[in-house]
Amino acid sequence: MTATLIRQIDADAMLGEVRAWSAINTGTGNLDGLARQADALAEAFGTLPGEVELVDPAPVTAIAADGSEFDKPNGRHMVVRVRPRANRRILLTGHMDTVFPADHPFQEQKWLEDGVLNGPGVADMKGGIAVMLHALKAFEEHATAGSLGYDVMINSDEETGSLASSDLIAQLARGKLAALTFEPAALPDGTLAHSRGGTGNYAITITGKSAHAGRNPEEGRNALVAAADLILRLKSLEADDITVNPAKLEGGGPNNVVPDHAVLRFNIRPKSTEAMEGFDTQLDDMLDAVRDRHEVGIARHGGVTRPPKPVDDRAQRLFDLVRECGAELGQDIAWKSTGGVCDGNNIAACGVPVVDTMGVRGGAIHSPDEFLITASLAERAALAARVIGRLADGALDEGSR
C-alpha cells in the first residue's frame, strides 16, 4: 500500500496551498484575515466526504492595564465531521492562526535555498494543515476507509492558548480512539514531541491607596510594593517540577504619589498534574498573605490553560504505531519530551492518546526566520495517511497486540 499511497499525494498542490494560505495574514487578533482563511479552508476541506461547519468562538475575557476586564474577540473555528456513526472514530486538529499580527513586518515568502521556504506560518502550521488535508484525501482511497470516522478541528486561537476553542476540543475529543495534531515536528529532522509540561497564564490586579509621597506616605497603600512582594513569593514556589515567570508589571505614576494600582502578569510551567494543582492552592494562600500584609485589594484572573501531557501506555502505543508506519515508508521516527505546549495537551487531558507533531519538518517558528522543508509535505502526509489507515484496520483496538 505504501508506494500507492505516496503516488496519490500531490506535493505540488500541497506547496501551492501552503503558499496561498501563508499569503493571508492570520495573526490571532486579525479577524478579517482569519475569516478569509476559514473560508479558504472550508472550501479545501469540502472535498472530503463530510459536513463542514464554521463554529463561533466561545467568549473570552482579558485584563487591561487599568485592571478592568474586557471581552477579547476571536475568529471562527472550522470543524469537519466524516462518518459520525462509525464505530471507530479519531480526531485530527490544527490551527489557522499565527503569531504575526497584521502590522508585523514579516508578511512575505522567500526561498532560503532550494527546497527551503521562509514565510509566516509555513511551518506553524499552514504546512501542517496541508499535510492533514492530503493525508485524509489519500486515506479516503484506502480499502477500509468506510470503517473509520473522524472529526477535523482547525481553531483560530491556538497561539493564544485556545481559550475560545478549548470546550470545542473537549467536545470533539470525547469518545475518540486516538488523535493526531499537526504541529510542526519538534526538530527539523522530524523528531516528534513526546511528553509535554503544562502552562498557565495569570493576571493579578492589586488595588492600594494613593497618598502624597512626602506629606503622608504612611496613609497610602503601595500597590507596586505589594506586587514586588508577590513576585518574590511566586519565585519561591519554583521547584524541579514547576517554573514561575513573572513577565510584566503595570502600574504606578508620578514619583510623588504612592501608587494605588498594579497589574502583575505571570506564567507557570508545571511538569505534572500534582505540581499544577499544588500551585493553585499555594497561590490562593499567597494572595491572602500579601493582601493582609499590605492592606490592599487583590483580584485574580486566569489559570492553567493547558494541563501537563504525560505519555501513558495507550499514548505510547500510538507513538509506536507512528514509528512502525514511518519505518514502512523509510522514515526514521524518534521523539523527545519538550517544555512547549499545544492543543495536544488539551486532548490528552480528555483521556485520548495523541501524537501532536505530525506536521511538517521546519524550524525557527514564531520568528521571521520561520522555514518549511518542502520535501516534508508529501513525506509527512504519507506518514499520517498510513497511520490513519492502520487505525482504520484496528491497530489500537484492544487485543490487537
Given a cut of 60, whether residue 131 has pLDDT beyond it is yes
Task: Provide φ and ψ at 21, rounded to 5°.
Answer: -70, -35
Q: What is the mean pLDDT of residues 52-60?
A: 98
DSSP 8-class letter at 126 = I
Q: What is the mean pLDDT of residues 52-64?
A: 98
Taking CA atoms, 68 is separated from 203, 204, 303, in Å, by 11, 11, 17
Question: Does pTM top 0.85 for this prediction?
Answer: yes
> Do 199-306 and 2-196+309-392 have the same topology in CATH?
no
Q: In what order do the strands lie in the sheet with 110-113?
A: 110-113, 116-118, 371-373, 362-363
Q: What is the mean pLDDT of residues 177-197?
A: 97
pLDDT for 8 equals: 81
Q: Which pLDDT band, with edges at 50, 70 and 90, does 24 fall under?
A: very high
Q: Could you tell me which CATH number the domain at 199-306 has? A: 3.30.70.360
| Among 5, 17, 51, residue whose Cα is nearest residue 152 | 51
The proportion of the chain whose per-residue pLDDT surpasses 70, expressed as a percent, equals 98
DSSP 8-class letter at 124 = I
pLDDT for 7 equals: 72
DSSP string, 253-290: --TTB---EEEEEEEEEESSHHHHHHHHHHHHHHHHHH
Report helix, strand or coil for 203.
strand
Q: What is the mean pLDDT of residues 172-182?
A: 98
Task: Kindly list the domain boundaries of the chain, sorted by start residue.
Answer: 2-196+309-392, 199-306
Sort strands 88-95 and 148-155 into parallel, antiparallel or unpaired.
parallel
Q: Which CATH class is domain 2-196+309-392?
A: alpha beta
Sort strands 178-181 and 354-355 into parallel, antiparallel or unpaired.
parallel
Given a cut of 70, whether residue 1 has pLDDT beyond it is no
Q: How many CB atoms lie within 10 A of CB 79?
A: 22
Given a cut of 60, whether residue 123 has pLDDT beyond it is yes
Report helix, strand or coil for 53.
strand
**Mean pLDDT of the residues in the chain:** 96
Q: How many CB atoms lie within 10 A of CB 64?
A: 12
- Cα 360 to chain centroid distance, Å, stands at 16
The proportion of the chain whose per-residue pLDDT surpasses 90, expressed as a percent, equals 96
Q: What is the mean pLDDT of residues 52-61?
A: 98
pLDDT in tens, 223-262: 999 999 999 999 999 999 999 999 999 999 999 999 999 9
pLDDT for 4 equals: 67
Q: Which pLDDT band, with edges at 50, 70 and 90, does 397 fall under?
A: confident
Report helix, strand or coil for 153.
strand
β partners of residue 116: 113, 373
- What CA–CA distance (Å, rounded) separates 255 from 257? 6
Q: Which pLDDT band, with edges at 50, 70 and 90, does 146 fall under?
A: very high
Q: Where are the beta strands (DSSP E) in 73-198?
A: 77-82, 88-95, 110-113, 116-118, 148-155, 178-181, 192-196
* Chain position carrying cell 484492544: 398
Given a cut of 60, whether residue 363 has pLDDT beyond it is yes
- With beta carbons less than 8 A apart as the criterion, state whether 231 and 204 touch: no
